[in-house]
Amino acid sequence: MKIQGLIAATFSTFHADGSLDLSLVQAIVDKLVSQGVKGVFICGTNGEGPNLTSEERMATVEAYIKAVNKRCLVLVHVGHSSIAEARRLAAHAQQAGADAISAVSAFYFKPASAHTMVDCMAEIAAAAPALPFYYYHIPAITGVAVNPLEFLQLGEERIPNLAGIKYTASTLHEYQACLNYGNGKFDILFGYDELLLPALSVGAKGAIGSTYTFAAPLYLKVMQLFNDGQLEAAREMQYQAVKMIQCLGWYSPIPAQKAIMKLLGTDLGPCRLPLKALTDDQQAKIAAYLEQIGFAALLGSVTHTAV
């Protein structure tokens, strides 16, 4: 399986008391499908997967698969500090009808080498042998920076359903090496929204990102302009995305993005500790900044053009 286009890494949906609110999933999916995303990536970093119980993660998977109804791909993050729990989540994703699974490294007791990482991922992938498996490389969060190219070299011998890597790192030279390994046999999905255009320039065809959940048309326009050879226009459109992303670093990025979604009309509820929702003053600061850079107006103009 080679994915081309955008996969939206969706956010958690909670009631005010912190319990899951899966009633929001249908509307989220309908909007993303109408905007042209190729799939959803659920229970990952942005979906606060590590903050959910395994039962909550499985309920979320079932809600998304039902809402999608085969209109786009459903990629399920099953990573867990317990390999046994990750295997249980993987088996459930296969049984529920997911299209692929992905897993981060264990992030408490950490694999010390690419060999050990392959051992871990082989265990997880084997629990859902019918599904393509993507290793989720996100060293800034897990603290595990094994060489992803070495992982592919070792993993292709040990993981029969290895499809590729969800590559969430800024090391574009390593990303390009993974793209080209084995004459491009693996699907290497890029995971840094702010570097989408540079990734396209070294060969990216598919990407998974959080801001695609609320700004997919902007990035689809970047891809269209790049593919049409309109590089200056693509650079300008990418810079508009970068300007929006700059405000995410003012606070914790996930609560900040949920605040932006609320400003755009979709209230996903709070986050779970140790993440905390933005204060009213913090939300107001982001709202003023987005107004200053004309983000909503730009997004509206792009949404209403063919992309």
For the annotated catalytic residues, the residue numbers are 136, 166
Residue 138 and residue 43: Cα distance in Å, rounded? 15
- Is position 141 annotated in a ligand binding site? no
Yes or no: say if 103 and 131 are a contact pair by the CB < 8 Å rule: no
Task: For residue 291, give both structure tokens.
Answer: 């107004």
Residue 79 and residue 86: Cα distance in Å, rounded? 5
Q: Is 74 left (phi over 0), alpha (psi -120 to 50) or beta?
A: beta
Q: How many CB atoms lie within 10 A of CB 17?
A: 8
CA distances from 114 to 52, 57, 291 (A): 28, 27, 45
| Helices of type H across 83-210 | 83-96, 114-126, 139-142, 148-158, 172-180, 196-201
The bridge status of strand 5-9 relative to strand 206-209 is: parallel
Query: Per the annotation, where are the binding residues?
Result: 208
Query: Per the annotation, where are the binding residues for pyruvate?
Result: 208
